[in-house]
Chain A
Amino acid sequence: MSQEQKEEKLASGGLMERIKKGEVKRHSKGYFLIRGLTYALIIIAVLGFCLFLGSFIFFAIRATGIFFLPIFGLLGLRVFFLSFPWILILIVTLLIILTEGLLKKFHVVYSKPLLYSVVAVIALVFLGSFIVERTHLHVGLFERAQNDMLPIMGPVYRGFGGRQINDTYIGEVTAVLTDTLIIETTEGREMKVVISSETNCPCGIEQIDTGDMVVVVGKEKNGEISALGVNEITEDDNMYWRRPPRNFPRGPGPAEGFLRETFNRP
């Protein structure tokens, strides 16, 4: 049988003919290189967006004060779960699934049980987000959003970072009275916080002094909050960018320097 007859016999008959005529082209090595690079860039972009959103979740949790809520018992936990940025969590989850799907093309990923790569991607996103959040990227962007200087993402920052969580107030103590604190919230509202035997105060109520930043959980009525939980916000909580308390040390230091540089504060 001649070569031509053999080719005719092939189910792919005609294909060899088309190849010889040049009707079917091979993709060049450059094509595969560009395709590989594009694919890698897509993965980096998806992962980068995932880290950005993940760190934004950490930021939103901290910025709104819901980070403190679980220590305040049942009401705190209830508000914590109700106020959690679930929509962002859902988007990040979908992005993690997408990342996993994209990574599955690689031998190093598909040759091991999926569980390993899923855990690795989640750990990477979680740790990466935590690190990105510590860089103050979102603090700066939030500040720009507050000043209407952040297009596109501005409403997102104002919506998630600056939203008022139900029954949760953050402010500076302006006066300490018997069983009552007067606070000025970060929104500039003056409120009376009534302390009772039901108030849970992990830091110890006697420790709270004028000039301290506090987070308060409780029902508000006519500017008076019946506090179910009060806790002091310390420098370690890394929230002073919202509004540094009056007793915040004004000497040179990393936090003060950061506040000055970022927000041009005196």
Chain B
Amino acid sequence: MGESGWAMKNDEEIASLIQADKIELFGVLMERYEGKMKRYAAKFISNQEDINDVVQDVFLKAYENIQSFDVKRRFSPWLYRIAHNELVNSLRKREKRKVLPLLDLDTFVPHNVKQDNPEQEVEKGEIKKFVQEGLEKLEFKYREPVFLYYFEELSYKEIADIMEIPVSTVGIRIKRAKEKMKIFMNKKLNNNL
């Protein structure tokens, strides 16, 4: 099959072929996800060399663990899960501090957060522009779900699986992140006036 033939196949089909020893196809997945992974890492790491190291480690781990991937599920959240772990480990090593708290009250108690509805989807584009600036100001635990939701367009459930937290916690973190960014943007506007 030619290059264009692989382009027709989805990630899960390609992952399945890699599992069946077509290892050269891993390059196709790397090509598809390199930009996304770099963008994801860049939201948390500023040094380009470090970003490349993390992305390389993500693909290395993905290849080593490809047999554990369940082809009935989506490939992208699986890869983001690996990336999440690599980022947390990398930040922990570089910043010598805990990136995520051991026990977070957000994950401990139930929250009543509604899933997004179509109206909110319309707002999503506008919010995306708004959060672009404020994202850097957020802590890791808020920044990550906001980025995955607004920029990578993953669902709450997929983000929950990547971060291994309840879906309601994803909702509450995005809600709080928006509130924090609103305060930040208001301050910025007041300073500019």
Contacts and interface: CB of A to CB of B under 8 A. Distances in A.
Contacts of A32: 65, 67-68
13 contacts: A3-B3, A6-B27, A7-B30, A11-B56, A15-B60, A19-B23, A25-B64, A26-B66, A27-B65, A111-B167, A112-B166, A113-B169, A115-B110
A113 B168 contact: yes
Contacts, number: 86
A12 B34 contact: yes
A43 interface: no
Contacts of A27: 64-65, 67-68
A174 B30 CA distance: 85
Interface string B37-60: 010000000000001100110011
Q: Determine chain B's interface SS by DSSP, over half rule.
A: helix
B164 A10 contact: no
A113 B160 contact: no
A12 B107 CA distance: 34
A250 interface: no
A113 to B, nearest CB: 4
Interface in A1-45: 3, 6-7, 10-12, 15-16, 19-20, 24-29, 31-32
A10 B166 contact: no
B26 interface: yes
A189 B172 CA distance: 65
Interface string B49-83: 00110011001100111111000000000000000
A265 interface: no
Contacts of B127: none
B23 A20 contact: yes
B189 interface: no
A11 B51 contact: yes
Contact of B164 (A16, A29, A105): A105
Given A19-B26, A29-B67, A113 B56 contact: no
Interface residues of B, number: 35
Report the interface size class on chain A.
20 to 34
A81 interface: no
Interface of A: 3, 6-7, 10-12, 15-16, 19-20, 24-29, 31-32, 104-105, 107, 110-116, 118
Given A24-B60, A104-B164, A12 B66 contact: no
Interface in B126-174: 160-161, 164-169
A110 B110 CA distance: 12
Given A12-B34, A27-B65, 10 more contacts: A3-B27, A7-B27, A11-B34, A16-B24, A16-B27, A27-B68, A28-B67, A31-B67, A111-B160, A116-B110
B52 to A, nearest CB: 4
Chain A at the B interface: mostly helix, strand, loop or mixed? helix
A114 to B, nearest CB: 4
A110 B164 contact: yes
A19 B63 contact: yes
A146 to B, nearest CB: 42
A31 B147 CA distance: 34
A114 B161 CA distance: 15
Contacts of A12: 30, 34, 55-56, 59-60
Interface in B1-39: 3, 23-24, 26-27, 30-31, 34, 38
A15 B30 contact: yes
The 6 closest A-B pairs by CB, nearest first: A11-B52, A110-B164, A12-B59, A113-B110, A114-B108, A12-B56
Interface string B81-114: 0000000000000000000000100011111000
B127 to A, nearest CB: 25
Contacts of A112: 166
Nearest to A116: B110
A112 to B, nearest CB: 6
A32 B64 CA distance: 11
Contact of B107 (A10, A20, A114): A114
